[in-house]
A = this chain, B = another copy of it.
């Protein structure tokens, strides 16, 4: 297969192509095919952008219909029919049934733009520059969100200091430390030296740090802490949202309402670029045009986005995910754990991590390669990349799910 073009012309920054060194051609739901005709089961799902699978017929048809209708494609933030339909559907079928009242901001169509907008708004509303984020977090790669992001390689790419963020230990890091009480102390102690934040930014299921669904009780205490100190709670639901956790929003299981929510990835339906910031109406102090972006008005993304929401609702994706979660959990517990006492696992819904941090050496790199060879696409996350992330499309057929898990088992056996 011919990859010379990429090697000659594309920047060294390219990344996933190194783990999966082939040229992909077509894809359908959880199956990807390459130029050699080889098929792969996709346990990566576009890092969460493909919750409804590759190229779902329903969404593809909507896109083609819209293209064929002459519907306007690009229109910045002017009013259009697809945007109205998206907003109405989102309000009626997602927000209202959950008792959520948010206004919707369309930032530039990437997750990092949503995080930037959320944090800018929080600082503007509260008049404070500092923000708390959690160790292990990933929130994006532009300067404002990179300041929140924790992995060393990303931070070293900044080439400058990343100010105005205090990183708080994630609750799993020092089990003896009550991290809610810790933050409470930081904001109460007149000698903490830590500036009171405008907001606390949290991924209810922390992904990049190694797949850590945060406890319901901890999330509830976090919400109460923010209330106590007049600090905004921002939920970054970019990776774990859109049904991935078993609910539409990954914070639903805690029964809490964040002040601001960032949404992206699968909100675009089939990998179309789209991002939302959801904000409580009373926080909507933006001046017109104070956060803009050329592609915040791609109508195909809105068309596909609405079709994705319809998929979620009509296929009862949340119910499906909970059912499939049990399949994965049982397989990991009964088939994978027994392979080696050093293996661990964690997860929720259809986002799971198999933890190899107790091993010496770069086990997961070999494992990703073995999976790829055996026809499974899965990537690494976590400290020193020691966790294999399992994140298939939520719509994956049970048979393929089980087949992918079997490949995983076989691959682990090969490398151990």
Contact = CB atoms under 8 A, between A and B. Distances in A.
Contact of A286 (B2, B147, B157, B194): B157
A338 interface: no
Contacts of A164: 160-161
Copies in the complex: 4
Given A107-B141, A273-B295, 19 more contacts: A3-B79, A10-B87, A13-B286, A14-B288, A17-B77, A24-B81, A27-B73, A50-B74, A63-B67, A74-B270, A124-B159, A143-B147, A152-B190, A152-B191, A160-B161, A163-B163, A174-B182, A176-B176, A300-B300
25 contacts: A9-B104, A12-B284, A12-B285, A13-B287, A17-B79, A25-B72, A27-B73, A46-B74, A47-B76, A55-B67, A55-B70, A108-B113, A110-B294, A113-B113, A113-B142, A141-B291, A144-B144, A155-B193, A157-B287, A173-B185, A189-B383, A191-B208, A191-B383, A272-B298, A273-B273
A111 to B, nearest CB: 6
Contacts of A297: 46
Interface stretch (A128-136, A241-249, A326-334, A339-347): A128-136
A109 B273 contact: yes
Contact of A73 (B54, B70, B161): B54
Contacts of A87: 5-6, 9-10
Interface bin, chain A: 35 or more
A83 interface: yes
A416 interface: no
Q: Return the 9 tightest CB-CB contacts between A and B, nearest first.
A: A74-B271, A123-B159, A143-B144, A150-B193, A15-B289, A13-B286, A142-B142, A167-B193, A11-B105
A202 B174 CA distance: 23
A137 interface: yes
A60 B66 CA distance: 10
Interface in A257-312: 264-265, 268, 270-273, 277, 279, 284-295, 297-298, 300-301
A255 interface: no
A198 B160 CA distance: 11
Contact of A155 (B20, B113, B163, B195): B195
A23 interface: yes
B295 A24 contact: no
A165 interface: yes
A103 interface: yes
Interface in A174-213: 174, 176-177, 182, 185, 189-195, 198, 208-210
A116 interface: yes
B265 A294 contact: yes
A313 interface: no
A145 interface: yes
B122 A23 contact: no
